[in-house]
């Protein structure tokens, strides 16, 4: 598939993703991110488009707004661990729809339960949390009322929430 056709078909998939997911709390942030904001965190889904083939990888993550780390940590489940997914596409509308549907179903069956499991700040501070030490400390500070406004704004810009 030529690069222009691949980009066009990939964007068609991205535009259709929220339909099968049907979650009004999530919205598209930056071009490859879908986000849901909370008081101290942002839940996100990232669609990684492979360079070598017309296919996606889905990543989930939770970003602490007060975290100074300069990139989103892909700290949640990802589609590579599930061999039954078909996240490839072509310029055929049926393939585009199938890919978007698979991504939406993955968000419902894997992403949402994972986000629900980590929806409470106290759980995110536990030893089993997907957050690294720095993110946990940033969350502790935020919960204590000591958020750094610059970190919060940078996090929001990073994921397209600003």
Q: Please, what's the largest Cα pairwise distance for the chain? A: 52
**What burial class does residue 103 get, using C-beta atoms within 10 Å of its C-beta: 0-12 exposed, 13-18 middle, 19+ buried?**
buried
Residue 84 has pLDDT above 90, yes or no: no
Residue 42 has pLDDT above 80, yes or no: yes
Question: Binning pLDDT at 50, 70 and 90, where does residue 60 land?
Answer: very high
pLDDT tens sequence across 19-35: 756 677 889 999 899 99
Q: Which of 15-29, 70-84, 138-152 has the highest mean pLDDT?
A: 138-152
pTM, full prediction: 0.93
Q: How far apart are alpha carbons 21 and 26 in whole angstroms?
A: 9
| C-beta separation of 37 from 63 below 8 A | no
- State what percent of residues in the chain have pLDDT above 90: 86
Which one has a higher pLDDT value, 25 or 39?
A: 39
Question: Binning pLDDT at 50, 70 and 90, where does residue 69 land?
Answer: very high
Q: How far apart are alpha carbons 8 and 14 in whole angstroms?
A: 10
């Amino acid at each position: 598939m030529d690069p222009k056709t691949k980009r066009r078909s990939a964007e068609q998939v991205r535009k259709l993703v929220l339909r099968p997911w049907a979650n009004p709390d999530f919205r598209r942030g930056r071009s490859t991110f879908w986000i849901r904001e909370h008081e101290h965190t942002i839940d996100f889904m990232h669609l990684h488009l492979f360079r070598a083939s017309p296919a996606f990888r889905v990543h989930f993550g939770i970003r602490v707004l007060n975290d100074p780390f300069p990139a989103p940590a892909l700290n949640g489940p990802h589609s590579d661990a599930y061999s039954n997914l078909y996240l490839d596409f072509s310029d055929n509308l049926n393939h585009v729809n199938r890919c978007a549907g698979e991504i939406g179903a993955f968000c419902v069956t894997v992403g949402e339960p994972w986000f629900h499991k980590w929806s409470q700040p106290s759980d995110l501070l536990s030893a089993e949390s997907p957050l690294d030490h720095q993110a946990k400390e940033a969350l502790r500070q935020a919960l204590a009322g000591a958020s750094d406004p610059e970190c919060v704004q940078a996090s929001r810009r990073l994921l397209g929430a600003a």
